[in-house]
Amino acid sequence: MKKIQDKVRKRLRRKFSIKKKIKCSPERPRLTVYKSNKYTYVQAIDDFQGITLAAASNLEKDLKNIKNNVKDIGKLGEEMGVRLKKKNIATVTFDRNGYPYHGIVKAVADGVRKIGIKI
């Protein structure tokens, strides 16, 4: 149990360290990714106003068919890219939330880039 707690504690330390360095503006919101064992959540957040501009997860009714694996999760990134395009957001700052940049996190970023959003 202690090993799991240490793993989470280290990820949170990385998360806050990264968040301090990220510069966001209303024109360039922070795109953050959170992943659990079953679901993945992606949000575009305006830190100045403290609001979520757009969000997507495979927990939603129309995105339920997206499994939480590297092959399918790119579709979630593409859906997030479409939602950002509707809000007229062309560039975002990617916040990997303390996770290593590979696997699911990288697939989400690639999916957003595929739609034409600059990260």
Q: DSSP readout, 32-52?
A: EEEE-SS-EEEEEEETTTTEE
Cβ pair 44, 55 in contact under 8 A: yes
Q: Quick check: helix, strand or coil at residue 58? A: coil
Strand ranges inside the chain, DSSP E: 30-35, 40-46, 51-57, 93-95
pLDDT at 1: 67
Amino acid at 55: A
Instruction: List the 30-35 sheet strands across, edge first.
Output: 51-57, 40-46, 30-35, 93-95
Walk me through the domains of the chain, giving residue ranges and CATH numbers.
2-115 (3.30.420.100)
SS3 percent helix, strand, coil of the chain, rounded to 5, is 45, 20, 35
Local confidence pLDDT in tens for the 119 residues of the chain: 677 788 889 888 888 888 777 777 778 899 999 999 999 999 999 988 889 999 999 999 999 999 999 999 999 999 999 999 999 999 999 988 888 999 999 999 999 999 999 98
Q: For the whole model, what pTM was predicted?
A: 0.85
pLDDT at 115: 93
Pairing of strands 93-95, 30-35: parallel
Retrieve residue 65's tokens.
């068919």
